[in-house]
Amino acid sequence: MAYVALFHSMLGLRPVERLAAERLRQAGHQVTTPDLYNGRTAATMDEGYALMNAVGWSGITRRARYAVHALPADAVLIGVSMGVGVIGTLWPERPQAAAVVLLHALAALPANAQPGLQLQVHAGEADDFAPATEIAALLASATEAGVAAEVFTYPGVGHFYTDASRPEHDAHAAELTWQRILAFLR
């Protein structure tokens, strides 16, 4: 059993994150899903950017820090798109995280990443938020730091391929992603 903090995308805390959290709970994990937008959600990427800018990065990360302050130091961090950016901010402050999962985007490995940390990345093969060159750089820095990194890229899928409410949803790739995450957390 792991303690998990699951950070939502720039579209807000929506059913896709709630369903993912429930799936993790059914596997025996304790899951926190911080609502970084205080209940507000967006339907489109443009609305999501506007909402993210309205809340502001300092407000988003302040809420994220508050949400994880009572979690064990080794809590697993999972981020979905913008949530990966949140992890990028919090990760250096939580170097004892047992594992980190990045969905639909990348975060830089912090300088204080602990050897043996487990890292898993899931992204569409042509996702602009996870370009192949940046994935290669992340893998190189992980190897250098002694971080155990796995990267899964999914051909032919869009940015939010795990989200059934989005046009780029791919049921097969989404299911495979969550099977891999659940196996990873075991």
Q: What would the pLDDT profile of 37-50 be if each residue is shown by its tens digit?
A: 999 999 999 999 99
Residue 69 CA to its chain's centroid (Å) = 18
Query: The whole model's pTM is what?
Result: 0.96
Q: Residue 26, exposed/middle/buried by CB under 10 A (0-12, 13-18, 19+)?
A: exposed
**Averaged over 155-178, what is the pLDDT?**
95
Local confidence band at 32 (pLDDT 50, 70, 90 cut-offs) = very high
- Can you tell me the distance from the alpha carbon of 176 to that of 51, in angstroms, rounded to the nearest whole number? 30
pLDDT of residue 65: 97
Gyration radius from the chain CA atoms: 15
Q: Of 99, 98, 109, which Cα lies nearest the Cα of 144?
A: 109
Instruction: Please report the pLDDT score of residue 165 as a whole number.
Output: 92
CA gap 69, 88 in Å, rounded: 16
How many C-beta neighbours within 10 Å does residue 22 have? 13
Q: Is 34 in a helix, a strand, or coil?
A: coil
Q: Could you give the CA distance from residue 63 to residue 128 in angstroms, rounded to a whole number?
A: 27
- pLDDT value at position 132? 94
Which of helix, strand or coil describes residue 81? coil
Tell me whether strands 30-32 and 118-124 are parallel, antiparallel or unpaired. unpaired
Range of the domain at 136: 3-185
Helix (H) or strand (E) holding 148: strand 148-154
Longest dimension (CA), the chain: 40
Number of domains the chain contains:
1
Residue 30 sits in a domain whose CATH number is 3.40.50.1820
With bands split at pLDDT 50, 70 and 90, how would you rate the model's confidence at 69? very high
| Residue matched to tokens 């975060």 | 107
Share of the chain above pLDDT 90, in %: 97
Residue with structure tokens 């993210």? 52
Six token digits for residue 153: 């890229």
- 100-130 tens-digit pLDDT: 999 999 999 999 999 999 999 999 998 999 9
Average pLDDT of the chain to the nearest whole number: 96
Residue pair 105/85 in contact by the 8 Å Cβ criterion: yes
